[in-house]
Structure 1
Amino acid sequence: MTIKIKQYLILIPCLLMVALSCKRQSTVITFELDMRPAIAEGWFTPDEDQVGLRGDQQPLSWSETCMANATNTYGIYSLKMPFSIVGDSLELSYKIKTEGAGHPEEGWQTGHNHRLVLYKGQQQTVKLSWNTQAPEPSSSITGHVDILRQFDSGALASRDIFIYLPPGYHHSNLHYDVLYMHDGQNLFDATSIGQEWGLDEAAEDMITSGKIAPLIIVGIGNTSNRIDEYTPTRQHWSYTFIKADGNNNEVAGHYQTDTGEELQVKKQSDTLWVIIPGSDEWQSLEAQSDTSYYLPRAGIRFTFQQDKQGSTIHANKPPMGGQGPIYEAFILKQLKPYIDSTYRTNPSAEHTSLGGSSLGGLISLYTGLRHPETFQNLLILSPSLWWDGKMMFDWVNTIEPSSHQRIWLYIGGAEGEEAVSNVRAMKQLLIDKGWQLQYKEAEHEQHNETAWKKQAANILHFVAGNNQEQ
C-alpha cells in the first residue's frame, strides 16, 4: 500500500470551527502575520512551510495550528478569526506557530504569549511580526508571597515553591490551614506564562471580608519533567489496529484492536487525520515515508501495512510518566515537613488540602486518595483521566473510601466530549464508592488558566469557608 502525503499541513478542523463561529456571532479579529524576518534568516520558505496561530480561546487552541493564508504582499499572511463571547469581553492568549522541518524552537514564536482583550461586536486587525516579542508581564502578586528558589526536591529536579501568607500572619500567633497546589508558578503571578489563577487576589478579598478563614497556600512549582512527575504510572502506549469497515485498499476508515480500542482515520487535502483512543478530536499526521507517519502532539508513530488479512496500523510511542509516587514522597517527606516546621500551620489532615488541574488534577486525585491521613480536602480540576488507558478508574475501584475525605471535582463543558465524559464517569464512581463529593461543570469553559481562575472563589470556599459557591 502506497500513500503519498504532502509534508505541509492544511488544518481542516480549524477551518470548520471558524466557519461555525462565523455563523454564531460577529466578533471578528483579522491577524496579519509578517514572516519576512524568518524568510530573511533562511529557515522559513513560503513554498514549503506554513504559518498560523495557536491560542487559548476557540477557535484557536494550543494543540493545533490555525493556518494563515498568504496575501499579495510577499511574506505577509492573513488569518480572520471569529470568537464567541458569552459576556462583554474575552481575554485571548496567543502565539505564532510555523509548520515545517528544521524550524527553531519547533516552530514556536519565542518569548511570552501575546495577549488581547476582545469585546463583543468588535472588528479589528492585529499586525504581528515573527520577531515581535510580547512585553514582559509585570508581577501581579497581591499580598505576601514567600518564594523559595530551587527548593531541594530530593530525587527529583529542584523547583521553586510559592507560599502565600494570609493578612495578619506576621502580627499574630495563630496557626493556619494549608492548601497545597501543583503548577505553583501559575497560581499567583502572570509573569511565568502570562496567565494566573488569581488565588492571591481571591484569598486577600475573601479573608479580609470574612468570607473564609485565613489560610496558607503553597504553590509547588513544576519542572520540565512535569509529565513524568504528575503521572502515577509508566505509560506504555502501543496498539495494533485492524480495519473494521470500508475498503481495505483505502487507508481512511474505522480501525479497532482486539480489545475494543478504536482509531479513526480520514484523508483531507492530501493529509491524514486521526482520532486516537482516549481523544475526541481530529489531529493531523506528518508523513515520514509512504507508510510511516508521526503525530507530533502525542509523540506517536504510525506504520501502515496491508496484506491478505486486510489493512493494519501499528501505533506506538516511547514509554513516559510514572514518577508520581516519587513526587508524592517529596511532598509528604520533604515539602510538608518543611512547611510545618517553618510556618505556623495546623498540620493534621482535617486542616490540609491538595489540588491541581489537568495532570495536576490527576496526581492530586491519586496522591490524595492514597493518603487520607494527610489530606482531607481534594480539589480536582479538569483531571487528565485519559492517562495510561484510563488507569485511574480501575485503580479507584480497588481502594476503600475515607469516611472524612471530601472532594471538589470540576470540568469545563468546552474541554471536549471525551474529557467531560471521563469526569462525569469518575464523579459517579466516587459517589458510588462512598466519597463526599461536590461537582461543578462549567458549560462554556475550556482547558486553561482563564477558566480555572473563575473557580478561585469556589476553591477557597470549599477548603476554608462555608462550602457554598460564589
Structure 2
Amino acid sequence: MLVTHDIPSVYLGLTRRVTVWLPPGFKRRLGTSRYSVLYLNDGQNLFDPSRAFAGVTWQVGETAADLIRRRRIPPLLIVGIDHGRERRAREYLPVEDARNPTAVRPLGREYAEFVTREVIPFITRTYPVLRSAAATGFGGSSYGAVAALYTSLLKPGLFGRLLIESPSLYVGRNHLLRLARRADRWPSRIYLGVGTTETGREDWNAETLGNVLKLEKVLRKAGLGERRLRVRVAPGAAHTESAWAARLPEALEFLFG
C-alpha cells in the first residue's frame, strides 16, 4: 500500500512529495506494532513506473513484500522522497560537479536538514516507527547515494543502516572520500553496490569502481568487518534503475535481515 504526503520545507523553501510504502498487514495503532523505516532518495523511481525515469523502477514494494513474506526481513516502512527535478543535482550534492552544468550552487546541507529535521520527524509523528538508529536507514543511487552518504556523515548516529548504490564519489575532486576519512562514527550496517559498466566511458567506469573500492578501504580501516559492510561489484551492470533493482533484495536482507 502506498500513501503520499506533501511536506513543506523551510530548508528548501518549497513543498516536497514523499511516498510511504506500508508492508502487508500494517497496523497503524500505536502500541500494536512498531516498524523499522528506510528512507530512499529519488522517490519517483522507486514504486510507480508511470513516474519513474524511462518507466523503470527499483521495484521496491514488490521486493520488500517478497522478502517479508519469506521472513527474510521483518515488516518495515519504506519512504521515497521525491527529487527536485531540475534542482536534483543542487539538492543532492554538497559540492559542485564540474561535469554537470546544473550542479551549481549546491544545496546538499539544506537537503540533509530537510530529511533529518522535517521528513523524519513527520514520519515519526504520523506512523508507528521505531526511533533507534538500528531501525532507521537511508539510501540512494548516483547523486542520491552522495546525498545519503553526506547526510549520514553530517548527522552521525542518526542512521544505523546505509544503502549506497553507484555513488558519484568523483564530485568535488573526491570530496566525500575526504570527509569519510575524517569520520569517527559509522552506521552499524552499510551496503555498497556498483557495476563495472556504469558509464559509456571506460575511464569513468574505472573511476567509479575505483572510488567505491577506496570507500570500502576507508570503512574497513574504520573497523567495519563482513557483518557490518557488504560490497557488491556487479560485472556488466550499468547506471540504471534495473541494475539497482537487481541488487535490492540482497541489500535489504543484509541491512534489515
- When normalised by structure 2's length, the TM-score is 0.88
Cα pair 1:232 1:324 within 8 Å, conserved:
yes
Identify the structure with the greater strand proportion. 1
Q: Within 1, Cα distance between the matches of 2:100 and 2:11?
A: 27
Q: Match of 1:463?
A: 255
Q: 1:225 aligns with which of 87, 95, 101?
A: 87
User: 1:388-447 deviations in whole A, cap 9, x for unaligned?
Assistant: 111112222222134x63211111111112111111111112211323321000001000
2:204 matches 1:421: no
Cα pair 2:89 2:103 within 8 Å, conserved:
no
Q: 1:440 aligns with which of 205, 208, 232?
A: 232
Q: Match of 1:204?
A: 65
Q: 2:139 aligns with which of 355, 362, 365?
A: 355
Q: Match of 2:188?
A: 405
Higher RCO, Cα 8 Å, sep 6+: 2
Is the partner of 1:163 in helix, strand or coil?
Answer: strand
Q: Within 2, Cα distance between the matches of 1:407 and 1:203?
A: 18
Cα pair 1:185 1:222 within 8 Å, conserved:
yes
Identify the structure with the greater helix proportion. 2
> What is the identity, as a one-letter code, of the residue corresponding to 2:242?
T
Q: 2:109 aligns with which of 325, 334, 349?
A: 325
> What is the identity, as a one-letter code, of the residue corresponding to 1:452?
W
User: What stretches of structure 1 of length at least 5 have no aligned partner?
Assistant: 1-143, 238-296, 300-317, 466-470
Is the partner of 2:39 in helix, strand or coil?
Answer: strand
Q: Match of 1:370?
A: 154
Q: Within 1, Cα distance between the matches of 2:64 and 2:233?
A: 22
Is the partner of 2:17 in helix, strand or coil?
Answer: strand
> What is the identity, as a one-letter code, of the residue corresponding to 1:399?
A
User: 1:175-196 deviations in whole A, cap 9, x for unaligned?
Assistant: 0000000001111111112110
Alignment of 1:227-376 (within 5 A): 227-233=89-95, 235=96, 237=98, 298-299=100-101, 320-376=104-160
Q: Match of 1:52?
A: none
Q: Within 2, Cα distance between the matches of 1:236 and 1:376?
A: 28
Cα pair 2:47 2:58 within 8 Å, conserved:
yes
Q: What's the offset of the Cα at 1:321?
A: 4.3
Cα pair 2:28 2:127 within 8 Å, conserved:
no
Size of the aligned set, in residue pairs, is: 242
Q: Within 2, Cα distance between the matches of 1:178 and 1:367?
A: 16
Is the partner of 1:397 in helix, strand or coil?
Answer: helix
User: 1:262-287 deviations in whole A, cap 9, x for unaligned?
Assistant: xxxxxxxxxxxxxxxxxxxxxxxxxx
Q: Match of 1:181?
A: 40
Q: Which has more radius of gyration? A: 1
Q: Match of 2:201?
A: none
Runs of 4+ in 1 over 6 A off after TM superposition: none
Q: What's the offset of the Cα at 1:298?
A: 3.6
Is the partner of 1:226 in helix, strand or coil?
Answer: helix
Cα pair 2:194 2:233 within 8 Å, conserved:
yes
Cα pair 1:409 1:440 within 8 Å, conserved:
yes
Q: Within 2, Cα distance between the matches of 1:179 and 1:298?
A: 29
**1:298–1:372 Cα change, 3 Å:** closer
> What is the identity, as a one-letter code, of the residue corresponding to 1:168?
G
Q: Within 1, Cα distance between the matches of 2:46 and 2:128?
A: 21
Q: What's the offset of the Cα at 1:319?
A: 7.2
Aligned identity (percent) is 34
Q: What's the offset of the Cα at 1:147?
A: 1.1
Cα pair 1:380 1:408 within 8 Å, conserved:
yes
